[in-house]
Amino acid sequence: MQKFTLLSHQWKAATRSAAVSKSIGIKVFMGFVFFILFLELLGGGFYVGSTLAKSSANPIADLLRYGLYFFLAILLFRYMLQKLPTLMVKPYLVLPIKKSKLVNFMLTKPLFNSLNILPISFVLAITLGLHKQMDTYSFWVIVGSVMVGDLFVNYLSIYIKRVQIKHEYVFYLFLASVGALLFLDQFGIIDLQAFSSLVFIQVIEQPLFLLLGLLLFVVAYYLNFQLLYNHFSLEDFGKGDTNQRSSLENLNYLDRFGKIGTFALLELKMCVRNKRTRTMLFMAPLFLLYGLFFYTKPDYHEMNGFLIFIGIFISGGFMMSFGLYFFAWESGHFDLMLTANNTYKDYIKAKYYLMMSTSTVIFLLSTFYVYYGIDILIINSMCFLFNIGINSCCFSTLQQTTTNTWIFRKVQHLIIKVLAEDILF
Amino acid sequence: MIHIENLSKAYNAVKVLDIEQLQIQQGESFGLVGNNGAGKTTLFRLILDLIKADKGQVLSKNIAVHADSQWKNYTGSFLDEGFLIDFLKPEEYFKFIADINGVTKEELQAFYNDFADFFGDEILNKNKYVRDFSKGNQKKIGIFGAIISQPEVLILDEPFANLDPSSQIRLKMLLKDLHQKKNLTMLISSHDLNHIAEVSERIVILEKGQVVKDLLTSNDTLGELEGYFNPEAAVETES
């Protein structure tokens, strides 16, 4: 009975959340995008399957070589996209509900995530493309391994994310180890493909090995359970330790720029002292490396549209990820800003200058891509100009921030006015 | 100083505020009482132009607050945590407010000295972010932030709530002091009838968004207020 009450609370939380009250148009659009992605995944899977069927002598063995990459991709994909399942536990903590029941309930939530259908449907599409080469037996084993492996990956990613709440370095450690693994594989120091086919051929020969995968899942579940069970007191849901680092304490240098300097300093402190913004800030230089992936391959040099895309991301990546939440970050002290001494213009300008200077620094660093051709430098410069002129305005006005739409409109109007009058011209 | 005309605000067709006429004079210390949902905070939010009125307007020094933001130059306010910047330390927060209001370092320091009492020793030099303070201490930080700019009008929403007894008494003294010395116009709401009767010269009772009583404070005010909010008890004491 209790379980159903909890479920109904979850259902209410989901249906009554602010995101649901988005306009019907946006909902239809999001649904459409998801559907298109889904279709593309199906099409892509089928394409992979049928090309393998045509070009390879032993398609199933070839498929198995990429098994580990597949799971690694799901892990990253889940890690980036999937939100940590949280039941707003605070109000339940004082009620007579068993702790283990609450924990188990929280841990069943990832089973009902809509992302779950994507990996399995991708694999089903591949097997459809390969249907002539595949017997029923290996089909079921493959489907079974994908399901079991995905379960494990799902709970693993949740576990990493949850540990990361307390120990932020885990995030960088995780990214670094995945990066290192791929790097070692790329340069042939280790051979992931051989390892992958070794593992999965074993599984095909002896399906009981799937139980081992299931065991991995149980271990991941147990780790999650332990972590949650032992950290179920209120303070673990709080803001973490109050042992403050005195970051940016003495940056009085900015004072000489008057009010804009004051606001810029505020903005910087916000970036450094909040977890999500801090991650964004540290990730900003990564956008710079974007070029390395693509410029090194001569094929891409012919595709101008693609180069523009990369150019925009290199100098505007931070601007986009950060500027999208331009005002959402501030919603906590928005009232203060609105009633404070007539300085809203400066406030917006400070934000703009901050985004622009970050972009400029990244752009300047990116000039070394001239090594790959003067064209790239020219395209990147154009993209940079586009970013600081147009993109910054667009992104900052996209995101609705407060529940008070009137204030939002007012602010939006002001941003456009300020940017248009004072900065662009 | 503040002039309210025909002001009304409705949420989902339910009127939460409907005031025909209300004048607050310069230097007046104005108290607002009323049960939950009476419209106190809504009124303050309208005066601060944080929400939009459906009808009518608020004039501050004869200028409509929604048309011109002149009033921001001389109005200090603290309603709730929305006025705090949670990732700053208190000192940084005060410095920020001082900077945007053109208050110099020396003036700020002098201010600290004046209010050392009010803070006790729990706020300054604690090396803690605002978000890590208790509700009561956050309130103190917010109230102090509202007066740094030396405003002519001060708007505080339930400043006594969450404060410990000593701080409540200190705050009362501080408000009275500010009012007398600086001729500050104060708008304060509270659920504590004792406190409000003590610091205000004039008290308005709101009910369902309407002004139901407008009293000048005298010795009987407290009794009158208690009588209003608890009619049976008042009858008992009379008989």
Strand B2-11 to B153-157 pairing: unpaired
A417 forms bridges with which residues in the sheet?
Answer: none
**pLDDT of A52:** 83
Residues A49/A126, Cβ–Cβ less than 8 Å: yes
- Residues A252 and B62: their CA atoms lie apart, in Å, by 39
Minimal C-alpha gap between B226 and chain A (Å): 33
Tokens of A110: 């990832």
**pLDDT of A230:** 81
Tokens of A236: 């673990």
Q: Is residue B222 part of a domain?
A: yes
Between CA B56 and CA B25, with CA B68 as vertex, the angle to 5 degrees is 65
**pLDDT of A250:** 58
Question: How many other CB atoms are there within 10 angstroms of residue A268's CB atom?
Answer: 18
Q: What is the DSSP letter of B167?
A: H
Q: Is residue B39 part of a domain?
A: yes
pLDDT-flagged residues of chain B (< 70): 233-239
Q: Is residue B215 part of a domain?
A: yes
* Residue B87 φ/ψ, nearest 5 degrees: -95, 10
- Residues A288 and A313: their CA atoms lie apart, in Å, by 8
Residues in chain B: 239
Residues A256/A264, Cβ–Cβ less than 8 Å: no
Minimal C-alpha gap between A315 and chain B (Å): 28
User: Exposed, middle or buried by CB within 10 Å (0-12, 13-18, 19+), for A399?
Assistant: middle
Tell me the pLDDT of chain A (425 aa) as tens digits: 566 777 777 777 766 766 555 666 777 777 787 788 888 888 888 888 888 888 877 888 888 888 888 899 889 888 877 777 666 666 776 777 777 887 888 888 788 777 788 888 888 888 888 887 788 888 888 888 899 999 999 999 988 888 877 777 888 888 889 888 888 887 878 888 888 888 888 888 888 888 888 999 999 999 988 888 887 665 554 444 444 455 555 566 666 677 778 888 888 888 878 777 777 777 777 777 777 777 777 777 777 777 888 888 888 877 777 777 766 777 778 788 888 776 677 787 788 788 888 888 888 888 888 888 888 888 888 888 887 776 666 555 544 443 344 444 555 555 555 555 444 43
Tokens 């040099």, residue located: A301
CB contacts, 8 Å: A404 with chain B: 50-51
Q: Do A270 and B84 touch (CB under 8 A)?
A: no
Residue B17's CATH number: 3.40.50.300
**pLDDT of A252:** 63
Displacement of CA B186 from its chain's centroid (Å): 7
* Residue B10 φ/ψ, nearest 5 degrees: -125, 145
Question: How many other CB atoms are there within 10 angstroms of residue A7's CB atom?
Answer: 13
Residues A185/A192, Cβ–Cβ less than 8 Å: yes
Residue B229's SS3 state is: helix
Question: How many other CB atoms are there within 10 angstroms of residue A207's CB atom?
Answer: 15
Domain extent for B226: 1-70+153-158+184-191+199-239
Q: Which positions in chain B have a beta carbon within 8 angstroms of at least one beta carbon in chain A?
A: 48-52, 69-70, 72-73, 75, 77, 79-89, 92, 96-97, 99-102, 127-129, 131-132, 149
Domain assignments of chain A as residue spans, ordered by start? 26-237, 252-424
Tell which of A331, A335, A344 to mutate to test the B interface (max B CBs under 10 Å). A335
B157 forms bridges with which residues in the sheet?
Answer: B189
**pLDDT of A219:** 94
What torsion do the CA atoms of A133, A137, A143, A145 make, to the nearest 10 degrees? Answer: -110
**pLDDT of A242:** 43
**pLDDT of A86:** 66
Residue A396's SS3 state is: helix
How many domains would you assign to chain B?
Answer: 1
Q: Is residue B63 part of a domain?
A: yes
